[in-house]
Structure 1
Amino acid sequence: MRGRKAYVALCAIVACAAMTVSGCGGSNEAGGKTKIRFATWDQAEDVDRQQSLVDKFNSSQDKIEVNLEAYGNDFDTKISAGMGSNDAPDVMYMWNYPSYAKGLEPLDTYIQKQDTNYKKGFYPTLWNYNSYQGKTYGIPVGFTTHALYYNKDLFKKAGLKEPTNDWTWKQLQDAARVISSKTDAKGFAFQMKPDPYDFEMYLWSNGTAYSDDRGNMKGNVDSAKALQSYQMFQDMEKSGDAVATEGNGTDEFRSGTVAMFVYGSWALSTLDKEGIHYGVVNIPRFEDQAKSVSILSSSGVSMSKTTKHKAEAWKFIQFWTNAESNKARIGSELPVLTKVVDSEKIEKKPEYKPFYAMLKQSDGFTPSNFRVPDWSEKSDKLSLAFEKMYNPSTYEKPASALASVTK
């Protein structure tokens, strides 16, 4: 599952037209087998697990051979360069559809040829994140929503009941205040310069968004509800009940210096390995709202628009997204097929349950990077605005900090 969300503008594909990708030879039909290149962004143990699955596919095929290419942190650069030079991998992991859609094969006709229940086998929210401008460009393979992590020991030390799935932000703030006064820890942590892509979930939870359906930000990113959302975090920091961190809050949570933070499922394995006594619940809701909403970090597999072997690429995509493969990747990706979640009893595991609860109640929300044409520029300006709001040396009022975003 991809953790970082660097936004690569479509113009980067054009700029990289003259570049070549090291080690790329294109698809061919040597030795009687059609060669399919498959690009992943993963590293280390996750790549080993993926290679085992690729080997399993290859051993079952007489006419297709898939070669796994692990790009790691160079994924965006190499995919952009490959698309610009017509040398993109046949199949690739994908998340940033607004940037890469022009180089991807629409998959709707392939999906329509499947069983009528094919799409229903996936959680519906995931299709929203693997589509762009009415076309499906990726088949879901993994995701994470966000949830509230809390330190059980610090809650016990402060004499507080543990958070529940129906908590409000006011209840979180009240608990954070008690923890900050009765222990050596801060009650809550959030990023001083949060990823704008992630932060929009707090606006959604408060009945607004960065932009409207047409991608207009003015009057939305700075609406009364939006300003209330930004201000809430600044107020918690100013009161001393929360701390704005350089990172995502995981390090502070691990060290026991904060009692709560909101993050994706990426932290689970680390906290388990270190023996942290923690719990996970849904993101708190605003008091006048019926539910909270989470952003998704979703990964899919896509087909290059220029591949000469579309039938073979689709056959591999079908294998990579089937139930058996979905099960095999548990531990590195949260399963996206409902029947796998049911058969493996994933939602019965308390550490996983909130992420699926947030998935279900976050359907129908579209991130602004899918709607705002110049999102890359706007995202950079939002990042600077957040830093002005939450840096203790400035604490600029949200309306003022957002002035450059709405110009």
Structure 2
Amino acid sequence: MFGNHMKKTVIAACATVASLSLLLAGCGTDSSSGKTQIRFATWDVAEDVDRQQTLVDQFNESHDDIKVTLEAYGSDFDTKISAGMGSNDTPDVMYMWNYPSYADGLEPLDSYIEKEGSDWKSDFYSTLWNYNSYDGKTYGVPVGFTTHALYYNKDLFKQAGVEAPTNDWTWTDLQKAAKKISSKTDAKGFSFQMKPDPYDFEMYLWSNDTAYSDENGTLEGNIDSAKAIDTYQMFQDMEKDGSAVATEGNGTDEFRAGTTAMYIYGSWALNTLDEDGLNYGVVDIPAFADSDHDSVSILSSSGISIAKSSKNKDAAWEFIKYWANADSNKARIGSELPVLTSVVESEGITDKSQYKPFYSMLEQSDGYSPSSFKVKGWSEISDKLALSFEKMYNPSTLEDPASAITEALK
């Protein structure tokens, strides 16, 4: 997953290569060692890169014919991958999530996956393949993910005399609890982002039986449907009645400080909250009372892909298989949630109360595809939608949601 700070020392790949033409060919084969050279780009930083370097070293030690060099791009990842694709200098293997933007520069992996057999593919949670595919082709092998879940502060709930959230809560239950906590303590009951990432926010529409778009990517009549407006309105109403606060960030700072009792976020916060010693719990996202299904979560998925321009695709696939195998999954626990059902079972991941909701939300969210995979020109729509959200939820404006959302359609 993306970190917040660049690693101070970026590991430069192929730095000793004297020939520019050899570099542009993707480092090819090192004539001095006879090994096929593979460049591997990661977006991670700091200790996560150190863990990855250890895994890369283990791969290199166990392969006489392939040498992988790790390139840590940090927050420059998208810029460098885009530039690489434009100049035919793309790393052979790279982390990936934004398949609609990068699919033209990636190698379809369906034939490689098919050769591994059905048992190999079926060990991955099936929902994850939806997020690593685009336009009917698979472009990435899942290596990590997070769904979202509801975090709550046990001490604030106890202080307010409110029963702790459960997995069968509805938004009505959350609203009642938030009001009581706000009136009985110095904290707000709930917090949400003032300018939420539109990609993430669509999960609330899914839970309320709607979406930004239909299967053809049509926004009109969907993003502004009655149920969509009701969903936007629900968050604003909580802000207006004082039971919730719209935050500038993702809500983790307020939750850590004890100024809010509940918020919804991915598993990224777990390590930080554990280090803080915060007395917290995690449960499924609440469902809508009048919906006939469980709540749904968006996925933030880490995949690993091969560049279409790679001259060494078979060697790249060997490395991908290694990076996606059970031992590598186990080694990355703590920085990425395991994607293999066998590892989740063997390591007892879902026996841990703080992890279990992220997996139940994963299973509840099977079959949903983000509008970013269906709507042409999504990045422009996303920018407009983010501004519409800010107009709805900024306390200085609190614009009518029906009015604010029409501006995203212009």
TM-score > 0.5 by shorter chain: yes
1:136-173 deviations in whole A, cap 9, x for unaligned?
00000000000000000000000111000010000000
Q: Shift in Å at residue 209 of structure 1?
A: 0.2
Q: Shift in Å at residue 394 of structure 1?
A: 1.0
- CA distance in 1 between counterparts of 2:370 and 2:302 reads 15
Query: Where in structure 2 are the equivalents of 1:160-309 lying within 5 Å?
Result: 160-289=162-291, 290-309=293-312
- Corresponding position of 1:326: 329
Q: Shift in Å at residue 106 of structure 1?
A: 0.1
Instruction: Tell whether 2:383 aligns with 1:377.
Output: no
1:238-297 deviations in whole A, cap 9, x for unaligned?
000000000011000000000000000000000000110000000000001221000000
In the alignment, is the contact (CA less than 8 A) between 2:3 and 2:44 conserved in 1? no
1:301 counterpart SS class: strand
Give the AA of the match of 1:277.
N
User: Which one of the candidate residues 140, 143, 147 is aligned to 2:142?
Assistant: 140
Instruction: Tell whether 2:131 aligns with 1:129.
Output: yes
In the alignment, is the contact (CA less than 8 A) between 1:385 and 1:401 conserved in 2? yes
User: Which one of the candidate residues 391, 396, 405 is aligned to 1:393?
Assistant: 396
1:166 counterpart SS class: coil
Aligned residues: 390
1:8-45 deviations in whole A, cap 9, x for unaligned?
xxxxxxxxxxxx9xx97722211211110000000000
- CA distance in 2 between counterparts of 1:27 and 1:318 reads 21
- CA distance in 2 between counterparts of 1:348 and 1:258 reads 27
- CA distance in 2 between counterparts of 1:122 and 1:56 reads 23
- CA distance in 1 between counterparts of 2:134 and 2:327 reads 28
User: Which one of the candidate residues 394, 403, 406 is aligned to 2:406?
Assistant: 403
- Corresponding position of 1:12: none
Structure 1 portions without partners, runs of 5+: 5-19
- CA distance in 1 between counterparts of 2:27 and 2:131 reads 28
1:99-137 deviations in whole A, cap 9, x for unaligned?
000000000000111122121110000000000000000
- CA distance in 2 between counterparts of 1:316 and 1:225 reads 46
User: Which one of the candidate residues 341, 349, 353 is aligned to 1:350?
Assistant: 353
- CA distance in 1 between counterparts of 2:60 and 2:409 reads 52
- Corresponding position of 1:13: none
1:177-205 deviations in whole A, cap 9, x for unaligned?
00000000000000000000000000000
Give the AA of the match of 1:250.
T
Give the AA of the match of 2:126.
P
1:118 counterpart SS class: helix
- CA distance in 2 between counterparts of 1:336 and 1:278 reads 25
Give the AA of the match of 2:392.
M
1:266 counterpart SS class: helix
- CA distance in 2 between counterparts of 1:373 and 1:77 reads 21
- CA distance in 1 between counterparts of 2:109 and 2:345 reads 27
1:350 counterpart SS class: coil
- Corresponding position of 1:15: none
TM-score (norm 1): 0.94
- Corresponding position of 1:317: 320
Instruction: Tell whether 2:81 aligns with 1:60.
Output: no
User: Which one of the candidate residues 107, 110, 130 is aligned to 1:108?
Assistant: 110
Instruction: Tell whether 2:119 aligns with 1:117.
Output: yes
Give the AA of the match of 1:99.
S
User: Which one of the candidate residues 362, 367, 370 is aligned to 1:364?
Assistant: 367
- CA distance in 2 between counterparts of 1:24 and 1:194 reads 39
Could you say what the CA RMSD is over the residues aligned between the two structures, in angstroms?
Answer: 1.2
In the alignment, is the contact (CA less than 8 A) between 1:211 and 1:368 conserved in 2? yes
- Corresponding position of 2:15: none
Q: Shift in Å at residue 3 of structure 1?
A: 6.5
Give the AA of the match of 1:42.
D
In the alignment, is the contact (CA less than 8 A) between 1:3 and 1:297 conserved in 2? no
In the alignment, is the contact (CA less than 8 A) between 1:154 and 1:183 conserved in 2? yes
1:276 counterpart SS class: coil
- CA distance in 2 between counterparts of 1:114 and 1:317 reads 12
Query: Where in structure 2 are the equivalents of 1:76-87 lying within 5 Å?
Result: 76-87=78-89
TM-score (norm 2): 0.94
In the alignment, is the contact (CA less than 8 A) between 1:250 and 1:267 conserved in 2? yes
Q: Shift in Å at residue 2 of structure 1?
A: 3.2
Instruction: Tell whether 2:5 aligns with 1:2.
Output: no
- CA distance in 2 between counterparts of 1:209 and 1:308 reads 41
1:247 counterpart SS class: coil
Structure 2 portions without partners, runs of 5+: 5-19
- CA distance in 1 between counterparts of 2:160 and 2:178 reads 10
In the alignment, is the contact (CA less than 8 A) between 2:151 and 2:282 conserved in 1? yes
In the alignment, is the contact (CA less than 8 A) between 1:2 and 1:299 conserved in 2? no
User: Which one of the candidate residues 27, 45, 51 is aligned to 1:43?
Assistant: 45
